[in-house]
C-alpha cells in the first residue's frame, strides 16, 4: 500500500514537529568530573522516521526546506544492507523528476545521499524497493527501515569546536542524548594530519549510527570513521562504507560514552607522513535509546 506521511517538519524550516534543543547550562558527563565540557555547535537538525516496505508498497515523506540548506539522508536497516535493498528518491517542489535517486549508497545495498536545496518549498522524499525507480510500488522487497533526515542550515559554515576536538579527552559532546531518538548534526573540516573527535553520552544502552557526508557525494574525499570507548579502545571502524569513499557505521553500545573519531585515509600508515585529506564534511549521528533512561547509569539488567 502507499503510505504517505504528510509532513516532516524540521526547525530550520524544513516544515513534524521537531524543535531546536535548548542550550544546556552544562553538558552530559560521567561520574563527578569537575571540568565542564561544552557541546559541539549544532549545524542543523534532524529526525528519524521508521517504515515498513512490502511488495507493491512505497512510502513518501514531505519536508519544507529553505534555499541554501542541504539535506543529508540515509536509510538504515537491521542487517545494514546485507540483504535488504531499498531505493531512495528526493524530488524538488513542482518537479516531475527526482533530484536524488540513490540505490546502493552504502553500506551494502542501502541508499544514502545529499541534496542541495536550490529553492524554497515542499520537497518529497520517497522510499521503495530495488528496481522501482518510478516509486509506484513495483518491487518484491520486504523489510523494516529507519529513514534519517538531517538538514544543514548553512553547509559552507564549519562548526566543530576546534581545537577541543583534536583531543579525545576534551572532545565536545553531541547534543540530544536523552530522547528516545536523537539526531546530532555537525559540519567540520579535515585538514592534512587532522583527526576530529566528538563524544556521545553513555547513560543508557543504545544503537548508534554514524554517517559522513560531503557536498560531492564522496567522489574525491576519503574519510575513515572510528568509534572508541572512554579509554580510547577501538569499538568499530569504517573506511569506504559509502557513499563512495566516505564512511558510515553502526553499533549497539551498552554503558559508557562513545567517542566518534573522524580521520582521513592514510595509504601508508606505517610511515611518518600523515593523511593528506582536506575537505569539509557533514557528520550525522543518530542514537536510539534502548530501555528506560536512568540518571544513575544504564538501566538495570542492561
183, 46 Cβ separation under 8 angstroms: yes
Grid cell 513534524 is found at: 16
The pTM score is: 0.82
**What is the model's pLDDT at position 25?**
32
Q: Is the peptide bond before 119 cis (omega within 30 degrees of 0)?
A: no
Give me the pLDDT at residue 219, please. 83
| Assigned architecture for domain 164-289 | Sandwich (2.60)
Do 2-21+42-152 and 164-289 agree at the fold level? yes
The cell numbers describing 112, all together, are 544514502
Q: Tell me what pLDDT residue 105 has.
A: 86
pLDDT-flagged residues of the chain (< 70):
1-39, 175-179, 203, 291-302
Q: What is the pLDDT of residue 21?
A: 35
Buried b (16+ CB within 10 A) or exposed e, 199-223: bbbbbbbbbbbbbbbbeebbeebbb
- Pick 2-21+42-152's CATH classification: 2.60.120.380, 3.30.70.260, 3.50.50.60, 3.40.1800.10: 2.60.120.380
φ/ψ (deg, to 5) at 196: -100, 140
Instruction: State the pLDDT at residue 274.
Output: 83
Domain residue ranges of the chain, discontinuous segments joined by +: 2-21+42-152, 164-289
The whole-number pLDDT of residue 73 equals 95
Amino acid at each position: 500500500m502507499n503510505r504517505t506521511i504528510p509532513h516532516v517538519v524540521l526547525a530550520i524550516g524544513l516544515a513534524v514537529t521537531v524543535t531546536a534543543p535548548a542550550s544546556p547550562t552544562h553538558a552530559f558527563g560521567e561520574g563527578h568530573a569537575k571540568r565542564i565540557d561544552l557541546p559541539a555547535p549544532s549545524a542543523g537538525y534532524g529526525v528519524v522516521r521508521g517504515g515498513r516496505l512490502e511488495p507493491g508498497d512505497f512510502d513518501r515523506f514531505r519536508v519544507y526546506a529553505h534555499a541554501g540548506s542541504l539535506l543529508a539522508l540515509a536509510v538504515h536497516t537491521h542487517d545494514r544492507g546485507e540483504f535488504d535493498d531499498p531505493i531512495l528518491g528526493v524530488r524538488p517542489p513542482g518537479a516531475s523528476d527526482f533530484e536524488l535517486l540513490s540505490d546502493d549508497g552504502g553500506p551494502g545495498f542501502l541508499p544514502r545521499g545529499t541534496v542541495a536545496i536550490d529553492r524554497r518549498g515542499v520537497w518529497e522524499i520517497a522510499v521503495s524497493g530495488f528496481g522501482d525507480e518510478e516509486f509506484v510500488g513495483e518491487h518484491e522487497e520486504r523489510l523494516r527501515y529507519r529513514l534519517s533526515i538531517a538538514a544543514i542550515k548553512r553547509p559552507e559554515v564549519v562548526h566543530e569546536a576546534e581545537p577541543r576536538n583534536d583531543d579525545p579527552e576534551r572532545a565536545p559532546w553531541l547534543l540530544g542524548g536523552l530522547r528516545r531518538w536523537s539526531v546530532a548534526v555537525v559540519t567540520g573540516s579535515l585538514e592534512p594530519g587532522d583527526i576530529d573527535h566528538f563524544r556521545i553520552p553513555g547513560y543508557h544502552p543504545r544503537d548508534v549510527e554514524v554517517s559522513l557526508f560531503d557536498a560531492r557525494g564522496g567522489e574525491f574525499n576519503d574519510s575513515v570513521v572510528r568509534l572508541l570507548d572512554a579509554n580510547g579502545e577501538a569499538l568499530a571502524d569504517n573506511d569506504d562504507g559509502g557513499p563512495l569513499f566516505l564512511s558510515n557505521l553502526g553499533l549497539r553500545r551498552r554503558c559508557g560514552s562513545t567517542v566518534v573519531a573522524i580521520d582521513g585515509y592514510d595509504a601508508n600508515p606505517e610511515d611518518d607522513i600523515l593523511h593528506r585529506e582536506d575537505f569539509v564534511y557533514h557528520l550525522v549521528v543518530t542514537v536510539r535509546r534502548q530501555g528506560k533512561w536512568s540518571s544513575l547509569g544504564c538501566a538495570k539488567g542492561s
